[in-house]
Amino acid sequence: MLFVVSLLLLCTGISVSADFQCTLIPGKLRQIDAGAGEVYGVNDNDDIFRWVENNWKNIPGKLIHVSVGPAGVWGVNRANNIYKIQDNEWMSVSGLLKQVDAGGDKFLGGVNAQDNIFCLRQSCTVSRSSSVSWTQLQEDLKYYSCGPMGCWGVNSVNNIYVRHNVNPTACQGTQWQQVGGNLVMVEVGTDGSVYGVNAAGNVFRRDGINACTPIGTSWTQLDLCATFKHVTYDNGYVWILSTTGDIYRCADNK
């Protein structure tokens, strides 16, 4: 199913994206993540899927959140146990997190049930050991995602924050800087693109991000005439999940 998104002009000072095409993908998912040329997702039964040759391939195991990127493929289950794919099998890793993100420069980010932020250095993500040492970061966030030009996150009241120059050996980077707007989740693409969803189910893209302006300049709403709960981006495609779990892949010619 293919449809062209029509645009509406807003009077809120937030710009609206140009027309782009979206394809309805078969299946239902609760969470989805795209990165490093791959796409993974999980459904309401905690089943894990990988997008392979235009079809979903079931991956053995049970997870509530999965992430793929330069740091590999990682996920967490309902008990907040952490797993990564090692030699084509899920390997348990020490620690407890509710959300992970593999989009950094071979380092892993994540948050626990108390919204504490953690980072796993590159030396640990490439290790074959299941016992690893996590670095706790300052501040509290409910969702955290990293890319080549920095890490973004949102807190319990949906405020948005970013930090730059995050080092794969130290995980710290610069001080947190608040960004205007409110989002319930935010994802950073492998190329540094930033997308998010707000409490009303609207999808936004951060524009103007580059090496000189890693924080970007403004938010653009992708007016999709529907409400959504999750967004991710890689290789020119925005993957979004509706509130009922429908999967859309949209070509964003930004």
| pLDDT tens column, 73-99 | 999 999 999 999 999 999 999 999 999
pLDDT value of position 193: 95
Domains and CATH numbers, the chain: 2-251 (2.130.10.30)
Higher local confidence (pLDDT), 194 or 10: 194
- DSSP structure class, residue 5: P
Residue type, 246: D
Looking at every residue in the chain, the average pLDDT score rounds to 90
- pLDDT given at position 192: 94
Going by pLDDT thresholds of 50, 70 and 90, the confidence category of residue 118 is very high
Q: Is residue 126 scored above 90 in pLDDT?
A: no
- How far apart are alpha carbons 173 and 160 in whole angstroms? 17
pLDDT bin (cut points 50, 70, 90) of residue 125 is confident
pLDDT of residue 168: 81
- Residue 2 pLDDT exceeds 50: no
Calculate what percentage of the chain has a pLDDT beyond 70: 91
Per-residue H/E/C for the chain: CEEECCCCCCCCCCEECCCCEEEEEEEECCEEEEECCEEEEECCCCEEEEEECCEEEEEEEECCEEEEECCEEEEECCCCEEEEEECCEEEEEEEECCEEECCCCCCEEEECCCCEEEEECHHHHCCCCCCCCCEEEEEECCEEEEECCEEEEECCCCEEEEECCCCCCCCCCCCCEEEEEECCEEEECCCCCEEEECCCCCEEEEECCCCCCCCCCEEEEECCCCCEEEEEEECCEEEEEECCCEEEEEECCC
